[in-house]
Amino acid sequence: MFESLLESLTLGSCLLVALAFSQADSVKGQNIDNCPNAGSTYTSRNKVGFNVCRQTDYGVDNLQSVSQATLNACIEWCSTTPGCIYGVYDPVAKMCNSKGSPYTPNWKSDPSFDSFVMTSAGLDAPATKTKNGRWSDVIQLQVIPVAAYMVPQFPSVTKFLAFSSWSPSTFGGAAQYQTAFQSYDITSNTQSSFMVSNTMHDMFCPGINSLADGRLMIDGGNTDAATTIYDPASNTFSRAADMKMGRGYQASVTLSDGRGFTIGGSYTGGIGGQNGVPMKDGEVYDPSSNQWTALPGAQVAPMLTTYDNAGAWRTDNHAWLWAWSSGSVLQAGPSKNMNWYTTSGSGGVTAAGTRNAANDQMCGVNVMYTTGKIFGAGGSQSYSDAPGLKAAHTITINGVNQNPTVQQLPDMWYGRMYANAVVLPNGQVFISGGQTYGKGFSDTNSVLQAEIWDPKTNKFTLVGASSVPRNYHSVSLLMPDGRVMSGGGGLCYVNGGCNDANHQDMQFYTPPYLFDSNGNAAVRPQVTTLRSSQQNGNQIRVSPGGTLTVTLNSVSGLTHALVRLGSVTHSINSDQRRIPLTVVRTIGSTVTLRVPSDNGIVPPGFYYYFAVASSGSHSLGLTVNVLKG
C-alpha cells in the first residue's frame, strides 16, 4: 500500500512539474501589450524616468551592448547614451542592451531578461533633450507633402509650400490636370490649401529645383512634359515651355549659369530608346528665353543602375546631381558609376569612377555638407521590395571631369530606403525615416529613430525617434531656426487600399545642441545687422567673390556658413548644400566674410546665412541671394 501511495505521489509530482514547465513554455516568448507583473519605475541620477518590467524582452536586434553589474546600472547607462530609449538587461550574463527606439518593439514574456523603456516625461527631460534632441507633437496638414520647397523671403524665410498630386491624399486614375498645394507659415503655425489648375499640370513625381531668382521650377511628373514655374514675388504659378520629352522620377538641378538641367525619368512619358533600355538623355532650360534644349551628348546610359527587380524603367530615376563649375554637373549616384555631365552645345558625359562597387543605391540620400564634399547613404539595389542599405560614403570633388575621391564611412545604425537627409548649419547631416526593407506605400519595417553623422568624427549618433513613419513620398527641409521639418509618406493610388500608410502630417525635430543643460532653448549668436556688397534696400544680395558684413553680439569662436534653401521630393534635394565662408577681417563685433568667387561652388539662388558657435548653437537664418556672376 505504501509503495502504491509513493508511486501515486511520484506520478502526481511529475505531472505537476510537467504542467509547470508546460505553463512556463506557453508564457515564454508570448507577445504582450502590458507588463505581466506589477512593474516598477526608476528615475536615473540625471532625472530621466523609465518604466521597468522584469522577466520580459524586446524581440528586436541589439544596437549597443555593454557589460553592467545590475539592472539599475544598465538603466543609468541608457539614460546617458544617445539613442537609448528601449533597453533589456540580461542578469545572468550581466549584459546591458540598447534596443534604440524600434517601430515594432515586439515585447515578449521571457524570464531570462528584464526590459525597460523611457517614459514620456523621460523623453522630455533635460538630459534626454541634450543627447537625443526633441521631436514636436504631430501636426496635421492639408495635403500629404510628397514635395516641399522653402519660399525665399527677406529678411528671413517664414513659410514653405508643399504639394501632392491632383488630390491632397491620392494619385492616379483618370488624368486630372491640377495639383493640390498648401502653404505653411512657420512663424504663426498656420496653413492654407489651394488647387493649382491654371497650368494644366499634375505635378506628382516631378523634377524640382529653385532657379537663381528664387522661382521654383517643377518639370514633368504625371503630366509628363509640362513645366510649371512658381514665382514667390508675385505668389503666382505659370506654365513654362514643355520639355523636349516627357519625364517622371527624373532629377533636376540649377546650374552655375542659372539654367536648369534634368536627366532620366522613365516613370512617365515612356521609357524611350530601343529594346526597353531607357534613353532619356539630358536637356536644359533657359529661364531667360523660356526654352528647353535637348542635349543628345548628355547620355543617360552611363548613369543607369545595373539592375532593378521591376525592370529597366526604374534604372534612370532620381539621379544625385550636383552642379559645379562652368555649367558642369557631377552625377554622384544612385548608380554605382559616377559621371560628369557638360551642358554646353549638345552636351557630353565623362566617366568619373565608381562610388560603391558592391551595389547601386536607388532611393538613397545625398547632400553637400561642405564645399565640394557630398555625403551619400542608404537606398537599395531596386526601387522597391528590396533591403535598405546601411552603406555610407563621402564623395570629394577634385575638379571637372576628374574622378572624385570616395571614402567609405562606417555603416549607419539602420539600413534605410526612402529616407531623407538634411545638412545642419554646423555641417552635421541629419538622417530620418526610411525602411530596413523598402516597400512603397507600406509602413512595415519602418525606422522611426533618426541619426546624425558628424564629419569631424565620421561617426553616426542615434538620436530621438519620430512618432510617425516617414517612408516613400516623405520629405524633410531645414527651417531658418535650425529645426528640421519631417513630413508625409504614402499618397496611395486611388482606391489602392493602403491608407494606413498615408501620413498627412509632419513633425519638427530640434537637434540636441539647440538645448541648454536645463532643457531650455540654448543661447544663440545674435545678428545685429547683415549687409552685403550688392545690397538693394533690405534685400541682401551678393555676387560671387563679394562680401557679407555681419555685426553680432559677439564674434568669438564663431564660424559662418551659407546653406541653400531646399526643394525636395522622393529623397532628392539637389538644391541643398552648405558653403563655409572665409573671414576677411574682424573689427570689434563686426566680421567681413568672403563668398566663393565661383558660381559652381555657390550656385545662384537663395541661401540662409548662419553664424555657428562651437557648441553647434547658431543664429537664426537670414536670407541671402547669391547672384549669377
State the residue for C-alpha cell 545674435.
Answer: 526
Matching residue, cell 510537467:
18
In order of 36, 102, 433, the CA distances from 466 in angstroms are 27, 11, 8
With bands split at pLDDT 50, 70 and 90, how would you rate the model's confidence at 273?
low
Our separate counts of H helices and E strands in the chain read: 4, 49
Q: What local confidence, expressed as pLDDT, does residue 375 receive?
A: 98
pLDDT for position 279:
85
Q: Which three cell numbers stand for residue 139?
A: 501636426
Local confidence band at 278 (pLDDT 50, 70, 90 cut-offs): confident
β strands within 534-621, DSSP E: 541-542, 547-552, 559-564, 567-569, 578-580, 582-587, 590-594, 605-612
Question: What per-residue confidence (pLDDT) applies to 12?
Answer: 35
**Set of cell numbers at residue 524:** 544663440
Look at the chain and count its residues.
Answer: 629
161 — pLDDT class (breaks 50, 70, 90): very high
Nearest residue to 318 (alpha-carbon basis) of 296, 335, 301, 306: 335
pLDDT of residue 114: 98
Which residue has cell 499634375? 202
The band of 213, judged by pLDDT with boundaries at 50, 70 and 90, is: very high
Given this model, what pLDDT does residue 22 score?
Answer: 33
What architecture does CATH give domain 527-626? Sandwich (2.60)
Q: What pLDDT sits at residue 496?
A: 79
pLDDT at 299: 95
pLDDT of residue 272: 65
Residue 307 one-letter amino acid: Y
CA-wise closest residue to 217 among 238, 198, 248: 238
* CATH code that applies to domain 40-122: 3.50.4.10
Please spell the DSSP secondary structure of 32-66, one letter per residue: -SS-SS--EEEE-TTS-EEEEEEEEEE-S--SEEE
Residue 9: is its pLDDT beyond 60? no
Q: How far apart are CA 477 and CA 470, in angstroms?
A: 13
Mean pLDDT of 429-456: 98
Cell of 320: 544625385
pLDDT band at 26 (very low <50, low <70, confident <90, very high): very low
Tens-digit pLDDT profile for residues 280-303: 999 999 999 999 999 999 999 999
Count of C-beta atoms within a 10 Å radius of residue 358? 11
CATH architecture of the domain 134-514 equals 7 Propeller (2.130)
Residues linked to residue 488 through DSSP beta bridges, in sequence order: 474
Residue-wise burial string across 512-547, b where 16 or more C-beta atoms lie within 10 A, e elsewhere: bbbbeeeeeebebbebeebebbeeeeeebbbbbebb
C-beta atoms surrounding 301 within 10 Å = 15
C-alpha closest to that of 595 among 583, 585, 587: 583
Which residue bears the cell 532628392?
572
CA 213 to the chain's CA centroid: 25
**First vs last Cα of the chain: how many Å apart?**
110
Cβ-proximal residues to 537 (8 Å cutoff; 6+ apart), any chain: none
The answer, yes or no, to whether residue 134 has pLDDT greater than 80, is yes
Residue 332 · residue 355 · CB < 8 Å: yes
- pLDDT exceeds cutoff 60 at 8: no
The three cell numbers locating residue 342:
557638360
Active site residue ranges: 472
Q: Examine residue 334 and say whether the peptide bond preceding it is cis (omega within 30 degrees of 0).
A: yes
Q: What pTM was computed for the model?
A: 0.95
Q: Which of 13-22, 375-384, 587-596 has the lowest mean pLDDT?
A: 13-22
CA distance 39 to 267: 53
In sign, the C-alpha dihedral spanning 564, 565, 567, 570 is positive
* pLDDT at residue 523 is higher than 70: yes
* Among 510, 508, 509, 541, residue whose Cα is nearest residue 524: 510
3-class secondary-structure state, position 463: strand
Cβ neighbour number for residue 61 with a 10 Å cutoff: 11
Q: Answer whether 427's CB lies under 8 Å from 369's CB.
A: yes
d(CA 478, CA 290): 30
Q: Which parts of 4-146 are beta strand (E)?
A: 40-43, 49-58, 64-67, 86-90, 95-100, 107-118, 134-135, 139-140
What pLDDT digit, counting tens, does each position of 310-364 carry?
998 999 999 999 999 999 999 999 999 999 999 999 999 999 999 999 999 999 9
Provide the 3-class DSSP secondary structure of residue 97. Answer: strand
Place of cell 546631381: 321
The string of pLDDT tens digits covering residues 66-117 is 999 999 999 999 999 999 999 999 999 999 999 999 999 999 999 999 999 9
- What is the torsional sign of CA 441, 444, 447, 448? positive
Structural domain boundaries of the chain?
40-122, 134-514, 527-626
What distance in Å separates the CA atoms of residue 419 and residue 499, rounded to the nearest whole number?
20
pLDDT at 19: 30
Residue recorded with cell 533589456: 88
What is the share, in percent, of the chain residues with pLDDT greater than 90?
Answer: 92
Mean pLDDT across the stretch 202-230? Answer: 97
Cross-strand bridge partners of residue 462: 451
Q: What is the distance of C-alpha 219 from the center of its chain? A: 22
pLDDT at 176: 94
Q: What is the mean pLDDT of residues 136-157?
A: 98
* CA–CA dist 255, 343 (Å, integer): 9
Report the pLDDT value the prediction gives residue 3, as an integer from 0 to 100. 35
The whole-number average pLDDT for the span 567-586 is: 98
